[in-house]
Amino acid sequence: MDRIRLLSKTVYDKIAAGEVIERPASVVKELVENSIDAGARAISVAITGGGLKEIRVADNGRGIYPEDVKLAFEKHATSKISTAGDLGFIGTQGFRGEALYSICAVSSVEMKTKRREFPEGTHARVTGSNTEFIIPAGIPDGTSVAVSDLFFNLPARRKFMKKESAEAALVSDIVSRFILAYPEISFHYTSDGKTVYHSPGDGDLRSAIYCVYGAGVSDAAAYVEHEANGIKVSGFVSKPGAPLKERRGGSVFVNRRYVKNGSLHDMVRSAYGETLVKGENPFFVLDIRLPLSAVDVNVHPNKLQVRFLDPASVEYVIKEAVSGACGEVRGAVVFPAEDIKRRADISVRRAEQSEFFSGFGNATASGALKETKLRETQTPAAPETYARGFVARENAISPESTQTAAASENAPPPAPYRLIGTLGNAYILVEQAGDLLIIDQHAAHERLLYERLICADAPVSQALLEPVVVKLSHEQKNFLDENIEAFISAGFCVEPFGALDYKISAVPAAAASADPAALLNCALGAQKGGVGAALTRGAVIKAACRGAVKAGDRLNDEELKSLVESYLSEGEAPTCPHGRPVITVITKKQLEKSFKRTV
C-alpha cells in the first residue's frame, strides 16, 4: 500500500469546493443567500451560457466593510455566527463561511461592494483562490459579484455539466424558490439577456406565485394556515381538482429556508387523501415556522437538508393545514347558498365539452349555453357523425376517422336496454336483460375518447378563435423547444411569446374543448423520461382524456343515451385508460337473493 501523505492546499480546496459548489445553480444559491442576509430589498441575477460562462448577482444590501473584503474570501470566515453555541440557533441563510472561498477555488470572482456610511467602496478580484487585487473604487451602495469560467481548473467536474439550457433551467428553479420564500424582495432574473422572472417585491405571496407560475396556478391556490405546539405552517396549496403533473410544483421552506425533503412532500400529498389520482401532484408553497432550536440546518454543506427535533408534530401541523383547506373547498361545492351559481358554472363547462369534445353535439344545454361564448372553429360547419357514435365539427376530423365512423354505423346495436337515470351526477343506472348496470360516466367517456384517439391514423389540429398564452417552467421550455416537431405533429401549434411564455394557436382536435394551457401542461407533465425524451403519442392521449365529462357534470337524457349507447355498442374494455373500473353489474339473481326471494 502507498504511503499516507498530506494533500496540497490546491487539491483539498478543490475537493472541498465540490461539496458546496456542484453546478452554476449552487453558485447562484450561495450568492443570493448572502444578499438576503445583507438585508437586500432588490436582487438581480444574470447568467450567460447557463451560468458556466458568467454569473452576476447584485443587491442593494448593507455591503461589506473595506477591511473585511480580503477576509471574506478566506475559508470559514463569516459574520453570521461566532461560537459553537450559535449552531443551535441559526436564523440566517448562510453560516458556514464556505461559499465565497469555494467559489473562488474553481472560478474567477470579481466583487464590488460599498456600505452606505463610507464615501467609496472596494473592488476585488480572486481567481483560483489567488487574490489579484483589492482596491478602493467609486461604486453604488450594495454588493455585486461576478463569477466567470466556472470549473476552469476542474475539468473532471466541468465535463459532467449538462447542456447550457439544462443548467439555466436549474438556475431558474432555484431563483423561483427564493421569489416564493421572500415575496418582499424584488428579484430580477435574466438568462442570456432575456428576462425570465421579475417579481414585484410587494410582500404578497400570491403575487410571487403569479410571477413564477402564472395566473392559472395562482388563481387556483387556496391560502392555508395552522399552528400547534409552537409550530406554524402557512402558505398556498392547490384546490382539489387543480393538480399538477410535475413534482416541481411543491416548495417547502423551513424558517424561510428552501429545503429538499421527500418526506415533507409526502406529508402534503397524503393530506389530500382521495382527491388526488395516480400520477397527479398537488401544488403547494408552505413555510414552516418553528423555534430555531427545534431544527438542525447544519446537515450538509449545501444546506438543503434539515432535521426536526419533533418530526411528528411537524407532520401533524402540515396535514391539519392542508386537509382543512381541502375540506373547506370540497364542502363549498354543495353549499345551498351557492347552489344556483355552482350549477350554472357546471352547465357552462359541460356545454363547452358537449359542443365539440364530448361528442354530445346534438344535445342542447340550458340557458348557460346561450350566455357562454364558446370556442369556435375558424370555419364552422354542420356536425358530422364521428367514430364511437359521437358528434364533432367537420373540420375537426380526418378522412380516416370519417371512414371509421362509417364502419361504426354498420356495427350491430347494443342489446335492448332502458335508461333509468343517474346517481349523484356521476353514475348512470341502466336496466338490460333484467340486470342493473352502473356505469361511471367519467370513466366510460374517458375510455371512448382513448379508443377513438388510438384508432386515429393522424391527429388533426383545431385552430383557436383567440390564441392562449401560457407560462412554462424553464425545464418545460427546454423540453418543448427540443421536441417542437413532435408537438406539431401531435396537433399543437405553439410558438415562443417571451422568455418563458408560449402562444398556443391550435390544439389536437379531439381535445379542442379542453383548456389549451392545461392541455399543453398536461402533455408536458405526462413525460416520464424527463427533458430530452421523445414525445409519445400516449402523452397526448392522456392529455386529451382530461376533457372527458367529470363526476358531478349534469347530463341531459340525450347525452346520457348517447354515452350509454356508444359504450355498450362498441363493447369497450371494462376499465378506463388508468385502470379504474367503468361498469358494475348487479344481476337480477343477486337482487333476488339480497331480498331473500331465492335461496
CATH tag for 371-599 (out of 3.40.50.300, 3.30.365.10, 3.40.50.150, 3.30.1540.20): 3.30.1540.20
The reported pLDDT for the residue numbered 61 is: 93
Contact of 292 with 256, CB cutoff 8 Å? no
- Which residue intervals of 456-556 are DSSP H helices? 474-482, 484-490, 516-525, 537-545
- Say what the pTM is: 0.63
Q: Cα–Cα distance between 280 and 492 in angstroms, integer?
A: 23
Q: Cα–Cα distance between 553 and 443 in angstroms, integer?
A: 13
Q: Would you give per-residue pLDDT tens digits along the chain (599 residues)?
A: 477 777 676 766 666 655 678 889 999 999 999 999 999 999 999 999 999 999 999 999 999 999 999 988 887 777 766 677 666 667 677 666 677 888 888 899 999 999 999 999 999 999 988 889 999 999 999 999 999 999 888 887 888 888 898 899 999 999 999 999 999 999 999 999 999 999 999 999 999 999 998 887 888 888 999 998 889 999 999 876 565 655 567 899 999 889 887 788 888 888 877 666 666 778 899 999 998 888 887 676 666 778 888 888 888 898 888 876 665 544 333 333 333 333 333 333 333 333 333 333 333 333 322 332 333 333 333 333 333 333 333 333 343 444 444 444 555 666 788 899 899 889 999 998 888 999 998 888 888 877 776 666 566 778 888 899 888 887 788 888 888 887 887 788 898 888 788 899 988 776 666 778 877 877 776 554 443 344 445 555 565 566 678 888 888 888 888 888 888 876 667 777 777 788 888 988 888 888 888 76
The reported pLDDT for the residue numbered 399 is: 38
Region(s) of the chain under CATH 3.30.230.10: 220-332
The reported pLDDT for the residue numbered 400 is: 42
Residues 6+ away with beta carbon under 8 Å from 360: 353, 354, 390, 391, 555, 558, 559, 562, 563
Contact of 224 with 205, CB cutoff 8 Å? no
Q: What is the DSSP letter of 34?
A: H
Sign of CA dihedral 121, 127, 129, 131: negative
**Spatial CA neighbour of 175 closest among 191, 192, 157:** 191
Provide the β-strand partners of residue 432. Answer: 417, 435
Region(s) of the chain under CATH 3.30.565.10: 9-204
**Sheet hosting strand 461-471, strand order edge to edge:** 461-471, 501-508, 493-496
The reported pLDDT for the residue numbered 14 is: 63
CATH class of this structure's domain 220-332: alpha beta
The reported pLDDT for the residue numbered 242 is: 60
Q: How many Cβ atoms sit within 10 Å of the Cβ of residue 298?
A: 15
130-137 vs 121-127, strand pairing mode: antiparallel
The reported pLDDT for the residue numbered 595 is: 86
Q: Return the amino acid letter for 566.
A: S
Longest CA–CA span in the chain (Å) reads 100
250-254 vs 284-289, strand pairing mode: parallel
The reported pLDDT for the residue numbered 25 is: 92
Extended strands (E) in 180-276: 186-191, 194-198, 221-228, 231-238, 250-254, 257-259
CATH tag for 9-204 (out of 3.40.50.2000, 3.40.50.740, 3.30.565.10, 2.40.110.10): 3.30.565.10
The reported pLDDT for the residue numbered 111 is: 95
Q: Cα–Cα distance between 399 and 370 in angstroms, integer?
A: 31
CA distances for 362 relative to 390, 441, 447, 559, 564, angstroms: 9, 18, 21, 8, 15
Provide the β-strand partners of residue 194. Answer: 191
Residues 6+ away with beta carbon under 8 Å from 434: 587, 588
The reported pLDDT for the residue numbered 442 is: 87
Region(s) of the chain under CATH 3.30.1540.20: 371-599
What grid cell was written down for 374?
Answer: 364558446
Q: 357: part of which helix (H) or strand (E)?
A: none
Torsion of CA 182, 184, 185, 188, to 10 degrees: 90
Contact of 474 with 168, CB cutoff 8 Å? yes
Sign of CA dihedral 369, 372, 375, 378: positive
